[in-house]
Amino acid sequence: MARTITVIGSINVDHILQIEHNPEPGETIKANQISLAAGGKGANQAVASVRMGCNTNFIGAVGTDAESKFMLQELRRNGINTAGITKMDYETTGQAFVLVQEAGENSIIVNSGANAQLSPKMITANEHFITNADFVLAQLETPEKTTIKAFELAKEHGASTLLNPSPASPLSAALLKLTDLVIMNEPEVKRITGIKETDPASLTEMARFFHNQGVKVVIITLGERGSFSSNDGQEIAVPPVKAHEIDPTGAGDAYIGALVTHVKRDYSNLAEALLYASHASALAVQQLSAFPAMPTKEEVEASIARQQ
């Protein structure tokens, strides 16, 4: 039986610019290519979970502009239930400007738009999408108070909660005590914890920061160094999966969508799920823009088989 995921999150139109390098202050540069794509961390993670075989609901907000029509069409085309998305008058749909350098690094500038207006009342109005969910997944591109409400309802209904604290910002104790699993990358965990190194001892200290506030499972992705996890202090290190990187935009979102699909709710297969997610992420960076880059379950399984 397919797993049910409910995503609380952001919906953005991505403007992707291919550039040689980021401009210096006062410098004007040319974009080698520009394209328009559906995105937003929430939307990307929702698509990733659908490609892995999940039934995926989305609770979010868009404006009443042309971008909202484009985004809703793209989400539906990708198999996501959009009945929980509110169209807000006098608001613009979220937008992101993604600068992709030739070296493969990217920088992102976000205008939140309607994402910033997603409210606890909207969560309550769509509680039925949380009632039967296995996992409720959220990021930090929507208000924290809204995520807290969603996670409170998830706990009431027996769903597991997964937080991707991105973009990184200080996290309240109220949110962390409702979070079962947290996934973040190296820059994000450094900013949140204030710990500047990621040697083994520092990773343990970072994990303890979250465990002490009630989080059961901590996962830190480390790019070319693989990933690290701590399940109530039981640590696992997973080596990286090599890939020819074209666009890293959706790598983390593919990782999260694959992991939330594959990991058992008691986390007994965590090591296997981390490897599965790493293969999904490696496949995602080999294509341009997030939605098209999200791999299917079959593609991930084929990637794993090739390395065995």
Residues of the binding site: 12-14, 40-44, 141, 185, 221-226, 247, 249, 252-253, 284, 287
Look up 266 and say whether it is catalytic: no
- For 107, residues 6+ apart whose C-beta sits below 8 A from its C-beta are 22, 98, 99, 101
Q: Binding site for K(+): which residues? A: 247, 249, 284, 287
Alpha-carbon gap, residue 291 to 38, rounded angstroms: 7
Cβ–Cβ under 8 Å, residues 253 and 290: yes
Radius of gyration of the chain measured on its C-alpha atoms:
18
Q: With CA atoms as reference, report the closest residue to 280 among 15, 6, 44.
A: 44
Cα separation, 303 vs 163, whole angstroms: 27
Instruction: Work out the number of other CB atoms within 10 angstroms of the CB of residue 104.
Output: 12
Options 65, 89, 180, 253, the catalytic residue: 253
Orientation angle between helical segments 270-284 and 251-262, nearest 10 degrees: 150
CA pair distance 105, 288, nearest whole angstrom: 12
Q: What is the dihedral of CA 56, 59, 60, 61, to 10 degrees?
A: 120
Report the alpha-carbon angle 252-236-294, nearest 5: 20
Residues known to be catalytic: 253
